[in-house]
């Protein structure tokens, strides 16, 4: 029987934003209120956050970077770059965001949980091995993937549907053939990475999959990406765990992007990934919050993830049609062509 774990904790509100900053505590509060209203407490077990160990962080970050952050951030207010702030509560929140992601990965691999949802701040997927950027200090999902490996996972898949490319996650696992990183994102857009030609380093060709969509992409466009690129790749990879970098800034009303995804679109993506997890990974799947700056989109999107994870297994989704022309079709074709040219073709659905 599936067992859900979830993380909702006040510590992630204590990462306090400067006035007007979009990555603000209300993001976590909106999701918390929506999940509580949706009855998450009756569907799963709340997991308390814990601080990431140095070893867990050093699995994905450089020692000098961690030492510099520890010198600068704890108990202070300031900026690590033009976008990435810290406040007196940031250090504890960031260490616990990474720590609980690792805890969930270990719990899922040990069988104590089957699926999990982590509502954490600050987000993580832009943090590289040695650089904080894009609101991110530690790469929470990368740390979870490394922790899963330490707990026996031979292969881990990361699916990133945040509207911004997860350059940090890609950077960390660029040469690791046993970590599959897939990202669908607005392109070109911040941080400027995520071209279809970025397919992994020499030791891991094909283990990075990028689909960069034009502004205005819809639910149907994202479904086509999943059905014709991501799901076939995931099924061929056969992960032991699926991790989701669950950003909700592709939402139609998000102020920082130009996509047109609705909460139904996030639900469709989550159902597809749950089906992959059930087929390949014993149902093991974890969603970790990344971006998303419209409170309605955040609340509704993560509630749909909860429903997808905890509802009885639905029938298979009908295959989404490929667009016949236009920028979305060109983006999908470019990704498929890049992998085929490198000798790592993505199977047809």
Give all domains of the chain, ordered by start, each with its CATH number.
8-341 (3.40.800.20)
pLDDT of residue 317: 86
CB 204 within 8 A of CB 177: yes
Q: Does residue 245 contact residue 288 with C-beta atoms inside 8 Å?
A: yes
Q: How far apart are CA 29 and CA 10, in angstroms?
A: 9
Predicted TM-score of the model (pTM): 0.98
Contacts 24+ apart (CB under 8 A), 58-66: 59/143, 59/146, 59/147, 59/150, 60/129, 60/139, 60/142, 60/143, 60/146, 60/172, 61/127, 61/129, 61/130, 61/138, 61/139, 62/129, 62/130, 64/130, 65/129, 65/130, 65/131
Query: Cα–Cα distance between 233 and 30 in angstroms, integer?
Result: 34
Q: 295-310 and 263-280 are packed helices; what angle lies between their axes, rounded to 10 degrees? A: 30
Q: Please list the pLDDT of the chain residue by residue as tens digits (349 residues).
A: 789 999 999 999 999 999 999 999 999 999 999 999 999 999 999 999 999 999 999 999 999 999 999 999 999 999 999 999 999 999 999 999 999 999 999 999 999 999 999 999 999 999 999 999 999 999 999 999 999 999 999 999 999 999 999 999 999 999 999 999 999 999 999 999 999 999 999 999 999 999 999 999 999 999 999 999 999 999 999 999 999 999 999 999 999 999 999 999 999 999 999 999 999 999 999 999 999 999 999 999 999 999 999 999 878 889 999 999 999 999 999 999 999 999 999 999 9
Catalytic residues: 126
């Amino acid at each position: 029987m599936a067992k859900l774990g979830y993380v909702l904790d006040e510590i992630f509100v204590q990462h306090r934003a400067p006035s007007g900053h979009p990555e603000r505590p209300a993001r976590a509060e909106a999701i918390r209120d929506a999940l509580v209203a949706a009855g998450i407490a009756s569907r799963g077990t709340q997991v308390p956050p814990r601080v990431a160990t140095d070893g867990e962080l050093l699995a994905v970050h450089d020692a000098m970077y961690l030492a510099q952050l520890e010198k600068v951030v704890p108990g202070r207010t300031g900026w690590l770059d033009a976008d990435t702030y810290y406040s007196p509560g940031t250090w504890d929140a960031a260490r616990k965001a990474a720590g609980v992601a690792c805890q969930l990965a270990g719990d899922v691999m040990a069988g104590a949980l089957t699926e999990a949802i982590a509502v954490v701040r600050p987000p993580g997927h832009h943090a590289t091995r040695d650089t904080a950027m894009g609101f991110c200090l530690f790469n929470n999902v990368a740390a979870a993937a490394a922790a899963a490996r330490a707990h026996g996972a031979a292969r881990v898949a990361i699916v990133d549907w945040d509207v911004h490319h997860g350059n940090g996650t890609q950077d960390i696992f660029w040469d690791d053939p046993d970590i599959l990183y897939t990202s669908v994102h607005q392109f070109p857009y911040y941080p400027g990475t995520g071209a279809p030609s970025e397919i992994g380093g020499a030791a891991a060709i094909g283990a990075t999959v990028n689909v960069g969509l034009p502004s205005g992409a819809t639910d149907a466009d994202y479904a086509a990406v999943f059905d014709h690129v991501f799901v076939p790749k995931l099924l061929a990879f056969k992960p032991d765990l699926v991790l989701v970098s669950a950003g909700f800034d592709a939402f139609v009303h998000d102020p920082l992007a130009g996509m047109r995804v609705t909460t139904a679109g996030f639900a469709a993506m989550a159902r597809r990934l749950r089906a992959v997890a059930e087929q390949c990974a014993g149902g093991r799947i974890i969603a970790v919050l990344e971006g998303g700056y419209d409170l309605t989109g955040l609340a509704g999107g993560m509630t749909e993830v909860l429903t997808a994870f905890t509802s009885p297994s639905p029938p298979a989704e009908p295959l989404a049609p490929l667009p016949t022309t236009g920028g979305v079709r060109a983006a999908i074709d470019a990704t498929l062509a890049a992998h085929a040219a490198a000798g790592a073709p993505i199977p047809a659905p």
